[in-house]
Structure 1
């Protein structure tokens, strides 16, 4: 009987290893998602400070940008100006907090990861872009961490790193029936603001990134609002 118990334990360990990346970090997949999100509401939030966004000043709320580079590529000559342009838009909204940008693509962009880093964009391979045969190779040699689903990263990064209501910007605007939109609905219900960037049809050259004005023109709230964020109280020494 002892041998039988040991066999069961060994089998469980093998299954546990299958759910981890080469780095040992758990990779969340679609089948894990229902454990994290249930009934449109987040269960067991990591943080619940009780602080509302209305209580925060212009510099206290972080902004996280999640960018699908397959659906909305960034032209190489535009890449260096992406973060300054987004920051300019946020400043126009009265938001002066920290800004982090996460880009998701496929293996074809791995050789440009240093260029993304120089532009202060964290680049990762989206899990669905990788055939199973290529997954282990990227985990070993990609040098950028475990591949992930965008919607799971939006959920986990926001909940694990933001102890105050954040600004979540998603590029491009996701389909309303997608898991990503469902995640955004859940986070919005927890007082995070959501900004969706909806580039014009046919804009394959990133014209919407040419200036802060052109970017503002394609931003909307989670439910289509044109002015989704209330300007917070400004504590800066310069004019907002």
Structure 2
């Protein structure tokens, strides 16, 4: 599934995702951006383009209608050069979100144990420290919270060095719901990745900025079987939302 459809499915499972629109032309992209409110993020919507930034398929902090038109044209041209055979559903228009700490969560299928849920720190921490916790799905919210608290970088979420405490309860709720969704759909879905998840300060919840869902039937043949997102693509721009 492309990012939009993956997020729709996760949203229906009770996981917080941003309001987004797939635009099929530049006029529709401008209309969507006007409705969402500037600044916005534009991203290519294609299940054949797993790594949007590498393909030139992302534009951050797009500030007005003219910039939307320019970014829309640039994204389509970049992706046409990078992946000429890719199926394009349109361009995703999303709010530019800031503030919070990035985490990642996902589910993969183990041939013996079934769905395995993972949660870890996002952004640069995901690459540098590989700081993750794993458990068989489904997990309860208490179990998800224990997984989060087991991370080496949990003090970052817990207000270290004067940082605001992150809404780890909301993060745990999202991980639990992800695990339940994956367990229910274990016969149909091979992998799910939510990366990054923007965890806001206490009481403000979380929002999944990017997501990827790989059906079982296509796991072996899709390039998306690689890691689902380049960590912190959005975080490089103050925790916004892209991949």
Q: Give me the TM-score of the superposition, normalised by structure 2.
A: 0.29
Give the structure with the larger helix fraction: 1
Give the structure with the larger strand fraction: 2
